[in-house]
Structure 1
């Protein structure tokens, strides 16, 4: 749910006058990455590929020695199906951003939930309901299938252009000067001016995502507006999370383990092959 990829602003609240200390930010991100990796049962190499960095660089993230860049987190979020705000758990920003309910309990389900076809997910949803023996008034939404390779290309090529456009849109909506907004965000004017340039550099730390979304109170629902592949992905993921949460909430520990095993088998037999194919397609398109 990367809010910087929204295509419209519905409304903006008054910015919050709060100050954040990022001294331990990278450390907590690292702890959350390790926690995620253990729950998802994947190794550091898979995580590095999801972030689009070397394994040496990823290990710096997990040790808290460096903070991931915003576009890398967006890429990781798409590939794993995990909301990027999950990484802000237990940080000073957690209370100000939209972290899905019981997000850590959702981790074993997120990849299959986000990437399986409508037909496969409908089967998973039906089996899960049978295991827990709960009725659901909601139905699986059979909508447009997002093109993962196009999303990855867009993140690599246009992510910071979108950040710049949306920061300008936000600033105009709030009727603030660059100087006023940079002061509000606690960054230098020169740094902010770079962020508003519509070029795909500099690559900006994920801490700016956390800081800007907290202070400006950006709305996670904006990530499902529009008709981009990114919006389609977020819309489908949010819909499927809303379907699975009541089942997970109603399940016993034993039932939850059974459902997790079903989703895990799909992730291993279907999703990994699909993701390998999509990432290979992305790498081919990127090199052309």
Structure 2
């Protein structure tokens, strides 16, 4: 449509030919439109012709504009079309929604950590140290929590693990320590576990746990009261185990003992018959006793009534 419109405009600006007949030769000659007359000069004719062409161009442009508005056409020059098709200058992310940007950010983060694992993690092998088992006197085990430089409320927490059987205690003192430790002692692993996060640094929490252990050892070595009359309470272990194995929802798992076989049916029938046979004499005796009591009461009431 754009090329057709430009062709119309070029035709409108071009001079329209006119055929004029010569009187002497009687032959047809084609000349531009210049109507000669006795009253008007050639310049005036050219000016009128130019005004006419300008008017036609204006009318054609107005018609093209009406076509664009009516049929929603895009009649533009070649330069503007090239600018619209310039993909290099366009923003590559202008047509991606926010969800797409989220996926791109997630992929970028994943690749970042993959690069760390591929190029920087092998460098940590230079810092590796051989394992040295603890000595006989090193019975305390402190465990720390690190978040790789990130601030976290639990980064100051310190956990102390120690076994009463590794300490220099007698059997009675060891049992007393286990009773004093209470739920902090696990009979399955035979380890006591303490933790502290009251202070702002790990060193302070570690010092506090060490002091508490010293107090516990000193209290266990006192011979005034050995708590011999108090048994070792391990109910906290059974509660944890029950909570771990607690059924949340649904039917319990099927068992072979629930299968109703012919042999099991006969066994249940014999069990019911024996149970009913044991209960029948007792029921009969109770019924007879109630009947005798009722008969005696009726006889007593009859003797008490006055005769007419």
Normalised by the length of structure 2, the TM-score is: 0.19
Higher Rg:
2
Normalised by the length of structure 1, the TM-score is: 0.20
More helix by share: 1
More strand by share: 2
